[in-house]
Copies of this chain bind each other. A is one copy, B any other.
Amino acid sequence: MKKRASLKDIAQEAGVSTALVSYVLTNKEEKARVGREMASKIRKIARKLNYQPNYLARSLKSGRTDTIGLIVADISNPFFGQIARIVEDEAKRHNITVIFGSSDENAEKSADLMNVLLNRQVDGLIVIPSEGSEQQILQLSERHVPFVLMDRPFPSIAASSISINNFEASYNAVEHLLHSGRKRIGMIAYQTGLHHIAERRRGFEEALANAGLKTGKRLKLARYNHLREDIRKAIDQLTGGKHPADALFFATNSLAIEGLRYISELGIRVPEQLAVVSFDESEAFDLFHAPVTFIRQPIREMGKAAVQLLLSQIADSGRPPEDIRIDAELVVRRSSAAN
């Protein structure tokens, strides 16, 4: 790369000190009482040399980098991809750059990533935490790093968070299935200690309980690293036996997509034999022969809120943590039609 022009180069050409140039180019001429002529001369030279400030130097001095870090759980999942995009857009509106990383649902990778980002002196972090990362998050808190948890709050940690009302969303979805006449509703969730999934499970169980039904063995768990086999086994169990399930509720889009692949393969008719509802959105849901009923998370709203909350946290480090809980929307389509 060719050497870029620095304040020094401009100063030299204008025959003044770098300080003066700095005052002008950061629009502090008033305060520094720079002469009108000199100011315009400096500006002209700056333009001629195509001066671009060196953010490194500036940040070194100011202690701020105008950069935030975003750690998502898995960037190849469009759900997180969308979040990344919205966070980036919103950040740019505030002249903030985003450095991102994907933890791939792996606590170790997440810790690495966090270190890298903090070493790059980000001003703060937005984190979609993976399982087992409580300690890391706690450390952020102790080191007084401004951060916001997104999508997955940790109730045990006093930290700002943005998420949907998982319990309620789940409850409503199951209630919808009940209203459409389903009696033997199964759920497939991740096997994880993460609170948002626990809440989704709780919503499922409570909705059934309130309808006088018992969950029984209809709640199945799949391991993230054995998604395919676990889901197939779960579906085999749920749809087999004397009392096969007549509805299936998936706790995330990736679970649903893998599940629907198998359901297609088995030739199970949706919604006649089996109603389907899933959390999260996916283009794949539209192309399934019976468009899939899903719980839409207000991603845009969440992303914006996350950035704004983080920025105010950065601006005022004494700010108490804030939990923002947003309602999700059930989008009813053919996969859960009454029969």
Binary interface encoding of chain A residues 101-132 relative to chain B, with 1 for a CB under 8 A from any of its CBs, else 0: 11000000000100110111100000000000
> Residue A153 at the B interface, CB < 8 A?
no
Would B56 and A121 count as touching, CB distance under 8 A?
Answer: yes
> Residue A260 at the B interface, CB < 8 A?
yes
Q: In the complex this chain forms, how many copies of it are found?
A: 2
What chain B residues lie within 8 Å of A35 (beta carbons)?
none
A1-B143, A56-B121, A81-B81 given as contacts; is B264 within 8 A of A283 (CB)? no
Would B56 and A65 count as touching, CB distance under 8 A?
Answer: yes
Closest-CB distance, A164 to chain B (whole angstroms): 19
> Residue A27 at the B interface, CB < 8 A?
no
Closest-CB distance, A209 to chain B (whole angstroms): 32
Would B101 and A88 count as touching, CB distance under 8 A?
Answer: yes
What chain B residues lie within 8 Å of A76 (beta carbons)?
78, 81-82, 85
- Distance in angstroms between the alpha carbons of A118 and B76 in the assembled complex: 26
Would B289 and A264 count as touching, CB distance under 8 A?
Answer: yes
> Residue A55 at the B interface, CB < 8 A?
yes
Residue of B whose beta carbon sits closest to that of A253: B283
What chain B residues lie within 8 Å of A257 (beta carbons)?
283, 286-287
Chain A interface (Cβ < 8 Å from any Cβ of B): 1-2, 52-57, 59-60, 65, 67, 74-78, 80-82, 84-85, 88, 92, 97-102, 112, 115-116, 118-121, 143-146, 257, 260-261, 264, 282-289, 317
Q: List 12 A-B contacts (CB under 8 A).
A: A1-B317, A54-B60, A54-B121, A55-B121, A75-B88, A78-B78, A78-B81, A92-B116, A98-B99, A257-B283, A282-B283, A283-B284
